[in-house]
Amino acid sequence: QAQLVESGGGLVPTGGSLKLSCVVTGRAINLYAMAWFRQSSGLEREFVAAITSNSGRSAYSDSVQGRFTISRNNAENMVYLQMNNLRPEDAAVYYCGMSRYSYWGLSVPITDFDTWGQGTQVTVSS
C-alpha cells in the first residue's frame, strides 16, 4: 500500500514562491503518472499539474501555466511542485496524487488517481 506525504506548504506574500514536495513510500513511482491537485474550502478538488512516469510529458491547468513547474525524481520516489509568482487565488490545500496509469490522454482526469496524500496548506497573503 503506497503512502504519500506532502510538505512545503506555508504562508507567503503575493508574488512569493514555494516548493512543495511529495515523498512516496510502499510503492515505486517509476511506473505511474503523478499529479498535484488543490482544494479550497467549499470547492471541489481541482487539477493543478501532472507528469508522466518517465517525465516525458507534463500538463498544467491554465491558471498556473507558466508559474508552476512539476518535476519528479524516480530514484528517490519524490515529486515536486515549484510555485512562483503566487497569487491569493492559489491559496488551497495541495494534494499529491498517484495515478493508476503511466500517462494520460487528452486530459488529466481526477478519476485516474487512486492514492492521495493528506495535503499541505498554502496560504497567500494579499
Distance CA 32, CA 51 (A): 9
Residue 18 predicted with pLDDT over 90:
yes
What is the arithmetic mean of pLDDT over 6-18? Answer: 98
Q: What is the predicted pLDDT for the residue at 94? A: 98
Q: What is the predicted pLDDT for the residue at 105? A: 87
DSSP state of 29: -
Per-residue DSSP letters for 42-93?
Answer: TS--EEEEEE-TTSS-EEE-TTTTTTEEEEEEGGGTEEEEEE-S--GGG-EE
**Are 12 and 124 a contacting pair, CB within 8 Å?**
yes
Q: What is the predicted pLDDT for the residue at 63? A: 97
**Are 96 and 34 a contacting pair, CB within 8 Å?**
yes
- Read off the pLDDT of residues 51-98 as tens digits, 9 standing for 90 and up: 999 989 999 999 999 999 999 999 999 999 999 999 999 999 999 999
3-state SS assignment for residue 110: helix
Distance CA 31, CA 87 (A): 33
